[in-house]
Amino acid sequence: MNDTTTRYFLELSYKGSAFHGWQIQSNAFTVQECLEKALSTYFRMPISVMGSGRTDTGVHASQQVCHFDLTDTDLGENFIKAINAILPKDIAIYAVRKVQPEAHARFAATKRSYFYRITFSKNPFLQDFAWQLFQQPDVTAMNEAAQVLLGYEDFECFSKVHTAVSHFRCKIFEAYWEPNGEELLFHITANRFLRGMVRSIVGTLLEVGFGHRPVADLHQVIASKDRTQAGKAAPAKGLFLSKIEYPTHIYLD
């Protein structure tokens, strides 16, 4: 970056139902593509963004963060209002902050959090935002199994196959299920996530909750490093990227 270039972090949320994930693809409509087009329209120049991480097709974000650079250009007084007017209704910008020139939305993130929503009653307002189940699982057993995850760092067994990653190591800081009335929420926080990882974990833990496998089986599944040994992935519509954390020193305002 040169002396006249300023880097900004954008905080946004989106409903993922209509998008083929976050990352730009040559033959599919994505959140990143939509956001870059809106920013390029507003600034009247090509703008590219880098997200904190990918979300898969149909996955939502209550908080996503990305960065972009501007050279010799001001944001404008009504930037957030104006850019939201350009964006479709499924994407909303909440904040924009100036950051250190080398701050990186992906590499500077220290923690990422997701939650997964399950509902046990028919709710027309949650059809696109939750997985409806008709049987209550054993939450105590699932929480016991979730704690097993904290003792490991290699999660190849929960990753989609044929992904372009150099390793499958992740540090999981917390993982637990929270009953919430007619809903059941799964919370998980880690330094990084693999493609399809959270949905695979949810599907595997539910097999424990429904008595299809014992808690102790999680040790063998993780040690196998084999995706076929884990449970079926939960549907995308219940998954939300919910929080991205950064060191405070990267912010300039």
Structural domains in the chain?
5-108 (3.30.70.580), 111-242 (3.30.70.660)
Residue 96 CA to residue 80 CA, distance in Å, equals 8
Count CB atoms within 10 A of the CB of residue 140: 11
How high is the pLDDT of residue 2? 60
Closest CA to 89 of 20, 31, 14, 19: 14
How high is the pLDDT of residue 26? 85
User: Which residue is catalytic, options 3, 56, 72, 138?
Assistant: 56
Q: Are 24 and 30 in contact (CB under 8 A)?
A: yes
Strand partners, 252: none
- The tens-digit pLDDT sequence of the chain (253 residues) is 566 899 999 999 999 999 999 999 888 999 999 999 999 999 999 999 999 999 999 999 999 999 999 998 889 889 999 999 999 999 999 999 999 999 999 999 999 999 999 999 999 999 999 999 999 999 999 999 999 999 999 999 999 987 778 899 999 999 999 999 899 999 999 999 999 999 999 999 999 999 999 999 999 999 999 999 999 999 999 999 999 999 999 999 8
Average model confidence (pLDDT) across the chain: 95
pTM attached to this predicted model:
0.94
Would you call 74 a catalytic residue per the annotation? no
Largest CA distance in the chain: 61
The residue written with tokens 């991480």 in the block is: 53
Q: Are 60 and 199 in contact (CB under 8 A)?
A: no
